Structure 1
Amino acid sequence: MKLLNPSSIIRYFSVSLIFLPSFISSQTCQKTCGTQPVRYPFGTGLGCGDPHFQTYVNCNNDQLTFISKTGCYPITSIDYDNQVLYITDPSMSTCSCTQQSKGFSLDWNAPFSFHDDTVFALLDCSISSSPIYKSINGEKNSSLPLCDYQGTSVCDHLSSCQAISRLDIPISTCCVYTPVDLGPAFDMNLEKLQCNSYSGLYGFLGQENNPENWKYGVALKYKFNFNNKYPTDCDQCEKSSGVCGYTEPSNLFSCNCPSGFNTTIDCFEGESWSSAFRLLPLQIITFLACFMISNSFLIIGQTH
């Protein structure tokens, strides 16, 4: 009979442990970020929510944040029923504050697009050299937006704001357009457009003539997937008080349960498995120790 040496036994069991299902881990995914509820497809950290959204929405210091190549933007609220994300840009100009900004962009592959209600007003643009006005004058360039003459009333009302009026700029240097026709990818480079600032707004609240009460910020739409269907496994996970997440690096679905374990099913089914597997590491260690001791005795017996 050929006996395995102790080092071979350890290697055997080490490899075996890799392939055992893991039901026990510390719960890292939370249902809130600060006071803001967080639900699928968003998450509070790595392994939480949908991996396609994790790059763009993070929870940092109890603040839910949207990330793009132009910066990090606080998320003011999320309408989960209508799948709309609302963000603010601290560098944008509003009726109460005017400042220089570098613009706003969406990454071309981001799972977001602008909501139909989102309107951008470019402020303090150069009439003589801005490519916006060159396009208006007849130079064709499909990559650049055109001013929306239907939205000139927005510029009129913005110019009545005390903060913007301090700039002492003519209304004609304000350009209003909606990004809905520009597709899911959008890059507003104010330096390239030769504009010093912008305002973003997504609601007038029935007070179109009162810019002090407008909803300033950016509204972004999102989809769960290509068919925009809520995943069944995530729905079952949430109904069992779990938080939807994924395993790294395979990005397979994982349900984070309140009792502190992750499972590929829901927390109801996973709980019964968890009870059975909680002592598994200790049992394996005990079995390994007994196996090695028995093997050592056999080796000693053969040498005598």
Structure 2
Amino acid sequence: MAFLPTYRHILETKSSSSSSSSSSSSLFILLIPLTISHLTLTSAQSSICRTSCGEIPINYPFGIDDGCGNPYYRHLLACPSGHLELRTPSGRFPVRSISYSDPHILISDPFMWNCLDGNNFRPTRPFSLDTSTPFSLSSQNNYLFFNCSPNHVIMKPKTMFCKQFPDKCDSSCDTASYLCRQLPECASALGSSSCCSYYPKATESLRLMLKYCASYASVYWRNTGDTPPYDQVPEYGIRVDFEIPVTASCLRCQDATKGGGRCGFDTQTQSFLCLCDKGNATTNCKDVNISWHGKKIIGAVAGSVTAVSFAGAIGIGAGIWYLRKLKAKAPVTHGVQSNENRLF
């Protein structure tokens, strides 16, 4: 190790009258910080896995501490000062809630239009998601665009064009939509400004639409649990859907009869770990063959039990990526007119 020659050099410069026992004591004291650091890295991670941020519960597959949850969700959530945030390519956005039964995250975009803005449209930025992550924009979102240019945005359905070129046809930005006529919380806030409703088929749509529109707002339909058709109400915000990867290793780890551990991963190899009160396991918290301390358990993860679960997680991720790649091939106009979809 790099520090040992330096330590020997220090010993050689000491007085020859120093006893061998004091030299051994000095070496022991010098090694204590390294030993503590090593035990910190390999000790139980369950003690540092926070289960909430503010009032929002943090459960699998998420983690706001490194090594907790699923590695595919690593660093996607942050909890500065007790306020949960979602990291995206377009910035950090406040998280309002997380649902694990109907997997989705509700976030707020402080840059988009709100009722207090009225006709005063502030500079905005398009919300975007990294397509390599397990997140996707929910189909329950509706996007409202304000003061769009009719020369650049598809404002009216082009029936004849769609019949002749169905592969190049895209939905229009509907000016007569229910949400434009009944803006949530402030029906008459826009005054004389125009509004149209359009659901983007790709995240690129938002950026292109905002080139020709003054601002936008996202509205999602919240389920109230009432009897249909009164079971959904529109609210401002963005719903982001996510998948919960399920592996046999994680299910064994979480089994209450086997100790009820938390699913996590090795921060260096990203291999599966079962996080228990006494240490990290490769199977479950009641495994009699567990070595609770030292590097042995970390090394065992990479090449034995969790290889199957980690490969399974990779398979799930690859399947999601492949499906999204197929969807990306579908032609879209992003709601904007071009030479390919314009009627002359």
**Pair in the same fold by TM > 0.5:** yes
* Structure 2, unaligned runs of 5 or more: 6-34, 36-40, 227-232, 297-344
**Aligned CA distance change for structure 1 residues 34 and 215 (closer, same or farther; 3 Å):** same
Q: Distance in 1 between matches of 2:275 and 2:183?
A: 47
Query: Which of 255, 258, 263 pairs up with 1:244?
Result: 263
What's the counterpart of residue 296 of structure 1? none
Partner of 1:149: 174
SS of 1:244's partner is strand
Aligned to 2:219: 201
Q: Deviations over 1:85-125 (max 9, x none)?
A: 21111222234555532121122222122222111111222
2:48 partner SS: coil
1:194-237 residue CA offsets vs partner (Å, 9 max, x unmatched) = 2222111111658xxxxxx7321111221234xxxx22222232
Match of 2:134 among 103, 111, 116: 111
2:282 alignment counterpart: 264
Q: Deviations over 1:53-88 (max 9, x none)?
A: 224223322222112111211111111112122111
Measure the CA separation in 2 of the matches of 1:149 and 1:191.
13
TM-score (normalised: structure 2): 0.58
Flag the structure with more relative contact order, 1 or 2, with Cα contacts below 8 A and sequence separation at least 6.
Answer: 1
1:73 and 2:98 matched: no
State the 1:266 CA deviation. 2.1
**In the alignment, does 2:197 pair up with 1:176?**
yes
**Matches of 1:175 and 1:145 in 2, distance apart?**
15
1:13-52 equivalences under 5 Å are 24-25=43-44, 27-52=47-72
Contact 2:154 2:173 in 1 (8 A): no
Secondary structure in 2 aligned to 1:233? helix
Decide whether the 8 Å contact of 2:43 with 2:280 is kept in 1: yes
Change in 2 beyond 3 A, CA 1:68/1:163? farther
Q: Look up the match of 1:60.
A: 80
Q: Give the structure with the larger strand fraction.
A: 1
Are the equivalent residues in 1 in contact too, given 2:265–2:272 (CA < 8 A)? yes
Aligned residues: 246
**DSSP-derived class of the 1:149 partner:** coil
Deviation at 1:134, TM superposition (A): 9.5
Write out per-residue CA displacement over residues 270-301 of structure 1, whole angstroms, 9 at most, x where no aligned residue. 79643xx48x9xxxxxxxxxxxxxxxxxxxxx
Give the Å deviation of 1:159.
Answer: 9.1
Structure 1 position 155, deviation (Å): 0.8
User: Superposition RMSD on alpha carbons, in Å?
Assistant: 4.2
Structure 2 CA distance for partners of 1:176 and 1:231, relative to 1, 3 Å? same
The CA distance in 1 between the partners of 2:169 and 2:65, in whole Å, is: 36
